[in-house]
Structure 1
Amino acid sequence: MEAFNHRLNTYIDSWMGPRDPRVRGWFLLDDYPPTFVFTILYLLIVWLGPKYMKDRQPYSCRRILVVYNLALTLLSLYMFYELVTAVWQGGYNFFCQGTRSAGAADDKIIHVLWWYYFSKLIEFMDTFFFILRKNNHQITFLHVYHHATMLNIWWFVMNWVPCGHSYFGATFNSFIHVLMYSYYGLSAVPAMRPYLWWKKYITQGQLVQFVLTMFQTSCAVVWPCGFPMGWLYFQISYMISLIILFMNFYIKTYKKHGASRKKDYRNGVVASVNGHTNGMTPAETVKHRKPRAD
């Protein structure tokens, strides 16, 4: 295995160029296979999980969902705060920022962005909860695409551009995740569901995030500062794909079926956010489908 990792690392390095030595030896970053294997296992569970649960009763997961979403809310809040303070401390330039220009602030951002990368592995649990609760309709292409790609993209980001202009998307996304996972956690508490009115605005916030990230990335193309151009072009392309997918979801969810979803909301049903929700759904409130205890 060590020989395989060495050959693979040599190939990746020949393609991508020298890695950033500041992350050498960090957990999960030296070799790509662990990240790739986690992704393959995730996709296998997405495929086989619903088949396994087909003839079984759904699990409730209510209590663990509250804890899980609270933990991700706090982690997202921590990352957002640390990134904002580091960007301020380092005097980061919105239009373009190199990866070796802010000293201690760069180091702080690298450490926070490792947690951001690792959080993408934790967020695989979103999908596993759908499977356990038999909410298979929530496992959309958008949901799987977003989860599977982010972990892999951020492995490469952490090895080659772990600070500098990479900060913006992660900072904005951490803020959105504070709102999103707090919503998820509250939606798992039945008494709170009638008061959850902001799901639509979370999706709007995500679309704003993608547009602003694409704009900020484009600024570094127009006014370069040494940040690798290949990464900028890739990020612009990836943001375009997310804008298209999230816009399609938004139109289908809030435009074409707005009337029926408003009716569901009045009846205490929580609709999905960004193609999925890990709060409680109608299937778990139907009396003749009682979930098993955790």
Structure 2
Amino acid sequence: MEAVVETWNATWEGWFGPVHELTKDYPFMYPIAVPLVCIAYLLMVLVGPVLMNGKKLDMKPVMRVYNLFMVVLSSYMGTMSLWQAYQGSYSSVWCVPFAEGKLGVEMARLSWIFTVSKVIEFLDTFFMILESRMRQVSFLHVYHHISIFIYWAAITWMAPGSDAYFSLAINSYIHVLMYGYYLLASFGYSPWWKYYITYMQILQFFAFCGQSLTVGWMKTCEFPKMLGQVLLWYMITLITLFGNFLVQNKFKKGAKSKTMKKTM
């Protein structure tokens, strides 16, 4: 087992280099944590439904607390990220320098918190399993949760600052709306923005494509070129999957509407 861990550590550091000075002392900042978290999540997805065996638990009270917590946490992360950008007097939206001193330390802390928040979001899947809503535990759902965690684990390990602020801020605010919708829906209220959440998610992916082209190919920036280039291909997969989800939903709604008209 020790040999496996050492091999993985060497492989990870071969890809991403040594851990960044500003995040090396944070909890879980060691390479083996990433595959362990992913394996635990996949085991939950595969074994959870078997253990539940069709039983359904009412998780609504717990989920209300969870959704409220995620709204508050996401609001904090998004606001603090923009505040750091303001304090750093960034002269452009993309290709920004690493902040120095206190600002750099704070941005690294936010990057770590954001990465941990992606692990906390695994609870989305956990609650779906407990309520036997397995139809929602789709490939898109699982892929999105695991992949965003891996990508941000790499950012926090390698470059917890610079252009990381951009995706951190945008994604956090979209999650404010998403978890806010979940919270309000649990009380029977349907907010107007629920119809636009998927569109906003896809729009952010296109924005990240622009960031990737700028940071990864068009300019020489302080943010690692490798992470910038990987971002484009990663966003293409998400645009494809979310776009397919959107089209399928529209097709199903259209078919349902036609069926209702025929029966009237």
TM-score (norm 1): 0.81
1 or 2, which has the higher helix percentage?
2
114-123 vs 20-29, greater mean Cα deviation: 20-29
Amino acid at match of 2:94: F
Cα distance in structure 2, aligned partners of 1:94 and 1:261? 43
Cα distance in 1 for partners of 2:62, 2:40 equals: 22
2:223 aligned residue (227, 231, 247): 227
AA in 2 matched with 1:196: P
Could you tell me which residue of structure 2 aligns to residue 54 of structure 1?
53
- Kindly tell me the number of residue pairs found equivalent between the two proteins: 256
1:170 aligns with 2:168: yes
Given that 2:118 and 2:148 are in contact with CA atoms closer than 8 Å, whether structure 1 keeps it comes out as yes
Cα distance per residue 1:21-50 (max 9 Å; x no partner): 111121111x12223212111111111111
Alpha-carbon contact 2:162-2:222 (below 8 Å) kept: no
Residues 217, 235 of structure 1: 8 Å contact kept = yes
- Cα distance between partner residues in 1 of 2:136 and 2:3: 41
Matched, 1:241 2:237: yes
What is the distance in 2 between the residues matched to 1:261 and 1:83?
Answer: 43
Amino acid at match of 1:94: V
Does structure 2 conserve the Cα–Cα contact (< 8 Å) formed by 1:90 and 1:106? no
RMSD: 2.0
**Aligned ranges for residues 120-135 of structure 1 at < 5 Å?**
120-135=118-133
Structure 1: where are the runs of 5+ without partners?
264-294
Find the residue that maps to 2:163 and give its secondary structure: helix
Match of residue 147 from structure 2: 149
Identity percentage of aligned residues: 34
Aligned runs of 1:203-222 on 2, under 5 Å? 203-220=198-215, 221-222=217-218
CA distance in 2, matches of 1:260, 1:61: 32
- The match for 1:161 is 159
Corresponding residue SS for 2:95: coil
Structure 2 portions without partners, runs of 5+: 259-264
Point out the more displaced range, 63-72 or 4-13. 4-13
Report the equivalent of 1:108.
106
Q: CA deviation at 1:4?
A: 5.6
Structure 2 letter corresponding to 1:10: A
Contact 2:82 2:169 in 1 (8 A): yes
- Contact 2:64–2:186, Cα closer than 8 Å, also in 1: yes
- Residues 172/262 of structure 1: CA separation in 2 closer, same or farther (3 Å cut): farther
SS in 2 for 1:198: helix
* Residues 57 and 131 in structure 2, CA contact (< 8 A), matched pair in contact too: yes
CA displacement at 1:85 relative to structure 2: 0.4
- What is the deviation of 1:11? 3.5
For residue 266 of structure 1, what is the aligned residue in structure 2?
Answer: none
